[in-house]
Amino acid sequence: MVKLIAGLLGGVFCAALLYGAVVPRDAVQPDPVAKYHLAPKEVSWANDNNGGLAIFSTFDRGQLQRGYQVYKEVCSGCHSINRVAFRNLVDIGFTPAQVKALAKEADIASIDDKTGEPNTRKGIPADKIPGPYANEAAARAANNNALPPNLALITKAREEGPAYVYSLLTGYRPAPADWKTPDGLYYNPYFRSLNVAMPPPLSADGQITYTDGTKSTVQQNAKDVTAFLTWTAEPTLEARRRTGVGVVGFLIILTILGYLSYQRVWADLKRKKPEMMPAE
Amino acid sequence: MSFPWAKHYEPQGAFMKYVDSRLPIPRLVYDSLGAGYPVPKNLNYFYNFGVLAGFALIVQILSGVILGMHYAANTTIAFDSVEHIMRDVNGGWMLRYMHATGASFFFVVTYIHIFRGLFYGSYKPPREVLWLLGLVIFLLMMATAFMGYVLVWAQMSFWGATVITNLFSAIPLVGETIHTWLLGGFSPDNATLNRFFSLHYLLPFIILGVIILHVWALHIPGSNNPTGIDVKSEADTVPFHPYYTAKDFFGLGVYLTLFAVVVFFLPNALGEVDNYIPANPLSTPAHIVPEWYFWPFYAILRAFTQDFLFVPAKLWGVLAMFSAILLLFFLPWLDTSPVRSNNYRPLMKQLFWLFVIDVLILGVCGGKPAGEPWLRISQLASAYYFVHFLILVPLVSRIEKPLPLPNSISEAVLKKQTNTGAPVALQPKGAGLAELPVSGQPAE
Amino acid sequence: MATLPSDDLTPTGEKRRDFIYIATGAFAAAGAAAVAWPLVNQMNPSADVLALAQIDLDLAAIQPGQAIKVSWRGKPVFARNLTPKEIAEANAVQVGTLRDPQTLAQRTKAGKENWLITLGVCTHLGCVPLGAGEGENKGAFGGYFCPCHGSQYDTAARVRAGPAPKNLEVPEYAFKSPTQVTIG
């Protein structure tokens, strides 16, 4: 009985599926974006062991500080990284005093004790780095209805995040003849719809003067700021790998010991103990 | 189950005797997991996965309860609270990655555990209830995992919740009412998030309870084994402790090593990048996909694109997706072959592997965007899924000619050892073995 | 192995403890302890809480005779600028008669006896005493008055009457400049 009902049910589902399978489909329109869209460039990072096995590699702190400078001078005008607190910048090589000074320069939204009106106060290291806009509406109003995304997690929020960010920043070029980029947007083949609302933020070599004297080109700026954003997305990356080496190493040893114990326990059985056999 | 040769618990010392006479938990442990539980001696490594699944649940409960100390279930701050865990809580990043990776690993071991059961006929009499309880655990796991993913309140969390809860509105007549009741609103919002947190916290403990029933149901007949034939004598078994405690410990070591490699070096490999973007009800991600362990079922859901026989395509998809799991409940009555293990069912063995390939294909399709060629492949693979269980399995169980079964487990083990050139020991004399009826299964 | 399996059995048939079992057990126990620590430590204050464990206070705006209330680690802190009269009153008290004997000098920093920085938490059962704000009741001893059960504190915030057992607690603090203190 069960089998009969099952057989019928199976027949019905299959009929529905096979009907769907044979019904003609609309011709697939060639996707105009796919013609020009590019996968992110191949690029390697210090914290990725420069393309190798990323187990022991760490961030290059000089690069992170340069990246922070790029963010501050170029990106912070439109993009927030308000998941990072000023005190976290100690991780990339600033001293506590420097961090305190950086925080003091910032205006943090606050409320006047006496009148209750919104005002601003000087920042302290415990504050998050404030973004440029009070809220989404203000951000859109200032950017032709486009919302500059929060960059704190951007390298984890995009496929091949660091390579994508680097490619986007260095990927601006004139559009091909048969591609229409509307006014107010800019052609970038690394962006998913090819037309991005962000004008090229790094437009010329030497746009930024690095405090550590590194030669400042567009590629260098892009690399540095991407490394910095990789850090903002996961400040605990180095701790994670360090702990991982210890844990995996310990577990490999424990597994080997476990295997030897297992062999020891089963040794007599595998050798066929005479006692297991009925007496002759 | 009471194998007469099972060792008996003897409480040592006055304190243990006292405990044994008041609340005999040590005896219970001894009888079910210790030296007092005889287990077939020929179990292979596929039999490790039940214990691994139980261990994975414990890891999820421990890490989950701790995460619950820091998580905030409110739409305005849920995502921020998860980032707080990742950045500020001591070791929070490790706990979060353990919990997310742990869910994936829980499903890996559970799927292998289920497929082991399919291959060796562990769902057949007298273990039907054991199989049903296992499926109940599987359903609870899926509900728990689905709700847990929503708690992050990121893009994929929100839109995955939207898509799956929308399925309920496909039910005729009452669908929309159920949909609104489930959500506590008209789209996933604070009401939904809070109830998902409450239920996500609750369900694992219910799973724990059903697992206790599952292990209890197993211990009545005792474990199945790769030959599928019943235990006949002491020569067929070994006590669970120390033989299988040692083997499970080793298996646990392998599991933990792989787990640690993913947690510490590849923590986002099994996830979706869109779940690092806070939920935005006004912007849909380009591709909405659930976590990988739901992909086969998602493929079946999306495979129905045409209205058929006056039933809308959406409803077909929902019915088929749920049926795909529910038909497993009927497997003991669809597969009525008296032979349990596929080792002795050559035709069924081939069908099994075809089925595995089919599920893998469905899995790949489930993770792809909805379009060709994945759609057509999903439709054919889904059709084969139903054909396998609802037509082929019942048919084959009736017409198949199985291979001759060994007389006993120890005979099969001996045969294997002599075949592999291991020292040829004394052949078992007849005593205790040849007197028993030639092995077959208890007649239906 | 050349030995017979029966060599491994004690008279009761159990396997002798093998070195490998002890090694494995010890390793596993060490692992369990190592795992337990992060599970316990996660309940310790997180980085953002620790970041606010210290606050900086600017005393410049506080006139003599005035006090301000600030929040530190979730609790109120009274920062009072004592007038010379209040300092004299505090120093005139016989320390031996106090329930919790302390001099004003012991409760302030050297050279800065006019700055009295204490927790605003009554040592009886934890209410916030009055007296820090403008016009608040300072009690009979000119310091602070707790309305819950009537504890009275003097100009050095020492308990003089009522059920409170101790003087208002002086938190750890340090002057970074003549008008800047760091508390905590």
pLDDT, tens only, A85-144: 999 999 999 999 999 999 999 999 999 888 999 999 999 999 999 999 999 999 999 999
**Contacts of range C51-54, beta carbons closer than 8 Å, 24 or more positions apart:** C51/A85, C51/A87, C51/A125, C51/A126, C52/A126, C53/C184, C54/C182, C54/C183, C54/C184
A67 has a pLDDT exceeding 60: yes
Output the pTM of the full model. Answer: 0.90
Confidence (pLDDT) at B435:
42
pLDDT, tens only, C6-61: 455 555 444 556 889 999 999 999 999 999 999 999 999 999 999 999 999 999 98
B272 noted as active-site residue:
no
Confidence (pLDDT) at A57:
82
Contacts of C28 in chain A (CB under 8 A): 254
Query: Complex ipTM, two decimals?
Result: 0.92
Greater pLDDT, A280 or A174: A174
Q: What angle do CA B172, B177, B180 make, to 5 degrees?
A: 130
Contact A264 C28 (CB under 8 A): no
Q: How many residues are there in chain A?
A: 280
Confidence (pLDDT) at C8:
52
Rounded Cα distance between C184 and C171, Å, is: 7
Q: Does B253 touch chain C (CB under 8 A)?
A: no
Rounded Cα distance between A230 and A63, Å, is: 11
The pair of three-digit structure tokens given for residue C130, joined into one six-digit string: 């009055």
B223 noted as active-site residue:
yes
Q: Rounded to 5 degrees, what are φ and ψ at A49?
A: 55, 35
DSSP annotation of B343 reads G
Confidence (pLDDT) at A22:
87
Contact A280 B426 (CB under 8 A): yes
B215 has a pLDDT exceeding 90: yes
Neighbours of B182 (CB within 10 A): 16
Catalytic annotation, residues of C: 149
DSSP annotation of B51 reads H
Q: Does A271 touch chain C (CB under 8 A)?
A: yes
Rounded Cα distance between A257 and A93, Å, is: 42
Rounded Cα distance between B135 and B115, Å, is: 12
Q: Rounded to 5 degrees, what are φ and ψ at B249?
A: -65, -45
Q: How many residues are there in chain C?
A: 184
Rounded Cα distance between B55 and B65, Å, is: 15
Mean pLDDT of B122-127: 96
Could you tell me the residue ranges of all domains in chain C?
A: 5-41, 50-183
Confidence (pLDDT) at B427:
45
Confidence (pLDDT) at B74:
97
pLDDT, tens only, B352-410: 999 999 999 999 999 999 888 999 999 999 999 999 999 999 999 999 999 999 999 99
With left for phi above 0 and alpha for psi between -120 and 50, is residue B368 left, alpha or beta? beta
Per-residue 3-state assignment (H helix, E strand, C coil) for chain A: CHHHHHHHHHHHHHHHHHHHHHCCCCCCCCCHHHHHCCCCCCCCCHHHHHHCCCCCCCCCHHHHHHHHHHHHHCHHHCCCCCCCEHHHHHHHCCCHHHHHHHHHHCEEEEECCCCCCEEEEECCCCCECCCCCCCHHHHHHHCCCCCCCCCCCCCCCCCCHHHHHHHHHHCCCCCCCCCCCCCCCEECCCCCCCEECCCCCCCCCCCCCCCCCCCCCHHHHHHHHHHHHHHHHCCCHHHHHHHHHHHHHHHHHHHHHHHHHHHHHHHHHHHCCHHHCCCC
Confidence (pLDDT) at A50:
66
Rounded Cα distance between A197 and A235, Å, is: 29
The pair of three-digit structure tokens given for residue C163, joined into one six-digit string: 């059920």
Give the distance from CA C184 to its chain's centroid: 8
The pair of three-digit structure tokens given for residue C81, joined into one six-digit string: 């600028």
Confidence (pLDDT) at A272:
56
Residues 126-185 of B with CB under 8 A from C: none
Determine which of C27, C58, C176 to mutate to test the interface with A (most A C-beta atoms within 10 Å). Answer: C27
pLDDT, tens only, A249-275: 999 999 999 999 999 999 988 765 444
Q: What percentage of chain A carries pLDDT values higher than 90?
A: 70
- Alpha carbon of C178 to those of B240, C68, C111: distances in Å? 75, 17, 10
Contacts of A2 in chain B (CB under 8 A): 330, 333-334
Q: Are C101 and C158 in contact (CB under 8 A)?
A: no
Mean pLDDT of A182-206: 93
CA distance A157 to chain C (A): 24
CA distance B32 to chain A (A): 19
Smallest Cβ distance to B90: which of C15, C28, C46?
C46
Q: Are A276 and B235 in contact (CB under 8 A)?
A: yes
Confidence (pLDDT) at C12:
47
The pair of three-digit structure tokens given for residue B438, joined into one six-digit string: 């030639």
Smallest Cβ distance to A153: which of B276, B330, B390?
B276
Question: Counting Cβ atoms within 10 Å, is residue C62 exposed (0-12), middle (13-18) or buried (19+)?
Answer: middle
Contact C42 B66 (CB under 8 A): yes
B431 has a pLDDT exceeding 80: no
Strand (E) positions, chain C? 55-58, 67-72, 75-81, 115-119, 142-145, 152-154, 159-161, 173-177, 180-183
CA distance C109 to chain A (A): 25
Q: Does A258 touch chain C (CB under 8 A)?
A: yes
Rounded Cα distance between C69 and C78, Å, is: 5
Residues 84-113 of A with CB under 8 A from C: 85, 87
CA distance C27 to chain A (A): 7
For residue B75, give every residue at least 6 positions away whose Cβ sits within 8 Å of its Cβ, in sequence order, or none.
B153, B189, B190, B193, B279
Domain C50-183, CATH among 1.20.1050.140, 2.102.10.10, 3.40.1190.20, 1.10.3210.10:
2.102.10.10
Determine which of B307, B379, B420 to mutate to test the interface with A (most A C-beta atoms within 10 Å). Answer: B379
Among candidate residues B219, B314, B349, B368, the one labeled active-site is B219
pLDDT, tens only, B299-346: 999 999 888 888 988 999 999 999 999 999 999 999 999 999 999 999
Rounded Cα distance between A201 and A223, Å, is: 13
- Alpha carbon of A31 to those of A34, B369, C112: distances in Å? 5, 14, 76
Q: Is B284 helix (H, G, I), strand (E, B) or coil?
A: coil
For residue B4, give every residue at least 6 positions away whose Cβ sits within 8 Å of its Cβ, in sequence order, or none.
none
Mean pLDDT of B421-434: 47
Rounded Cα distance between B139 and B137, Å, is: 5
Confidence of residue B420 (pLDDT cuts 50, 70, 90): low
Mean pLDDT of C93-97: 91
A276 has a pLDDT exceeding 70: no
Contact A6 B372 (CB under 8 A): no
B42 has a pLDDT exceeding 50: yes
Confidence (pLDDT) at B188:
96
- Alpha carbon of C160 to those of A118, C125, C151: distances in Å? 42, 16, 8
pLDDT, tens only, A199-256: 999 998 989 999 999 999 999 999 999 999 999 999 999 999 999 999 999 999 999 9
The pair of three-digit structure tokens given for residue B184, joined into one six-digit string: 């506590």
